[in-house]
């Protein structure tokens, strides 16, 4: 990555910042629980930016990322986009709170990033029928590819949470107990304030707000986690108030900083040069396809069709007994 001074200078010189995130859904500008806090953080910092949508690689861990000038801040580097922006002294909401205890901020953030994040991951991937993850991540992919990626992600989440067939019920109870404890602590911390720490936002506000917006707007009425959050009126009011302020007020794109949303944006990070710089390819004008190009596209479609058949064969071979083993292996049931 470029030095802090160089990155900060690049940020100041950039005419427009671009947040690459997953698509909008459920009334939110991005329905991805990882992307939403980054978007909210930029809004809290009053940063004008465009949103470009990535939908081709739903399991990519570099998303979300922010482009500014010729630099890129990726989700899977330096602790994520928000931490990168803070460490490089580009935009740091926490610096506006010199009187607030750093340990208080750190411990509160830890609750959001561990207990609440684990509970959200559990509900999204293990306690649902798969329809919500499909709408967020896989709806633009072919059915077999989406099915395989969903299966892969559920396996990863079970391993991450340490859930097995023998401890599934115990782990579920523990996850919700910790989530309840986190909500209780956050409710006490918030009190009747506008933000969690005094009267201006920190990165913890962005992280929790992203979590709460997802829980209240995306998870179904039957969600245990949603019921837990709704018991705390001040947390719900905090979420509704800031949703209006940050996502609904001044719907004109130039006023909100949303800018244009380009669903056809490239789904892979632009190629970065040395020192973390990224050079963006210029858009090319459309042209009529030649016969050779048409022939090549027909061959490509045939290749994709053969790959699809291979995937279907793979699924059929691992179906039946394998699928029941996956459901029973760790004691969590999923609906197809």
- CATH assignment of the domain containing 33: 1.20.1050.130
User: Does 314 map to a domain?
Assistant: no
Residue 176 in this model has a pLDDT that exceeds 80: yes
Could you give the CA distance from residue 322 to residue 301 in angstroms, rounded to a whole number?
A: 30
Going across the sheet that includes 49-53, the strands are: 71-74, 65-68, 17-21, 49-53, 261-262
Choose the weakest-confidence range: 197-206, 211-220, 233-242, 272-281.
272-281
User: Does 213 map to a domain?
Assistant: yes
User: Does 152 map to a domain?
Assistant: yes
Higher-pLDDT residue of 85, 15: 85
User: Does 127 map to a domain?
Assistant: yes
Choose the weakest-confidence range: 20-34, 112-126, 235-249, 259-273.
259-273
Residue 72 in this model has a pLDDT that exceeds 50: yes
Residue appearing with tokens 């009425």: 221
Residue 216 in this model has a pLDDT that exceeds 50: yes
Q: What is the DSSP letter of 308?
A: H
Confidence (pLDDT) at 332: 46
Q: Is 225 exposed, middle or buried (0-12, 13-18, 19+ CB in 10 A)?
A: buried
Choose the weakest-confidence range: 57-61, 155-159, 178-182.
57-61
User: Does 254 map to a domain?
Assistant: no
Band (152; pLDDT cuts 50, 70, 90)? very high
Could you give the CA distance from residue 49 to residue 300 in angstroms, rounded to a whole number?
A: 36
Choose the weakest-confidence range: 32-46, 137-151, 242-256, 277-291.
277-291
Confidence (pLDDT) at 313: 55
User: Does 129 map to a domain?
Assistant: yes
Choose the weakest-confidence range: 78-92, 151-165, 291-305.
291-305
Confidence (pLDDT) at 305: 56
Confidence (pLDDT) at 98: 81
Band (315; pLDDT cuts 50, 70, 90)? low
Give me the number of domains the chain comprises. 1
**CB distance 133 to 124 below 8 Å:** yes
Band (335; pLDDT cuts 50, 70, 90)? very low
User: Does 287 map to a domain?
Assistant: no
Q: Is 168 exposed, middle or buried (0-12, 13-18, 19+ CB in 10 A)?
A: middle
User: Does 311 map to a domain?
Assistant: no
Residue 321 in this model has a pLDDT that exceeds 80: no
Confidence (pLDDT) at 4: 73
Domain residue limits at 6: 1-249
């Amino acid at each position: 990555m470029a030095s802090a001074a160089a990155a900060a200078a690049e940020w100041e010189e950039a005419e427009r910042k671009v947040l690459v995130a997953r698509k909008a859904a459920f009334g939110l500008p991005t329905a991805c629980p990882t992307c939403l806090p980054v978007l909210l953080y930029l809004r809290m910092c009053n940063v004008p930016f465009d949103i470009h949508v990535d939908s081709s690689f739903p399991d990519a861990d570099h998303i979300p990322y922010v482009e500014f000038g010729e630099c890129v801040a990726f989700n899977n580097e330096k602790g994520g986009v928000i931490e990168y922006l803070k460490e490089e002294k580009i935009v740091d909401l926490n610096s506006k709170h010199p009187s607030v205890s750093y340990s208080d901020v750190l411990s509160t953030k830890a609750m959001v990033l561990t207990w609440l994040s684990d509970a959200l991951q559990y509900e999204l991937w293990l306690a649902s029928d798969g329809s919500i993850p499909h709408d967020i991540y896989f709806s633009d992919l072919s059915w077999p590819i989406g099915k395989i990626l969903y299966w892969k992600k559920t396996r990863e989440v079970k391993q991450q949470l340490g859930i097995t067939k023998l401890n599934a019920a115990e782990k579920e109870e523990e996850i919700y107990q910790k989530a309840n404890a986190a909500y209780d602590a956050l409710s006490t911390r918030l009190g009747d304030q506008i933000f969690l720490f005094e009267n201006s936002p920190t990165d913890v506000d962005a992280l929790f707000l992203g979590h709460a917006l997802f829980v209240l707007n995306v998870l179904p009425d039957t969600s245990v986690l949603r019921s837990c959050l709704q018991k705390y009126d001040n947390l719900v009011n905090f979420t509704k108030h800031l949703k209006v302020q940050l996502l609904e007020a001044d719907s004109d794109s130039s006023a909100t900083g949303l800018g244009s949303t380009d669903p056809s944006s490239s789904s892979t990070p632009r190629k970065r040069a040395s020192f973390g710089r990224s050079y963006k390819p210029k858009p090319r004008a459309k042209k009529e396809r030649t016969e050779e190009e048409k022939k090549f596209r027909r061959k490509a479609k045939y290749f994709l069709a053969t790959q699809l058949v291979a995937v279907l064969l793979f699924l059929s071979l691992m179906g039946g007994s394998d699928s029941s083993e996956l459901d029973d292996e760790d004691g969590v049931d999923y609906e197809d």
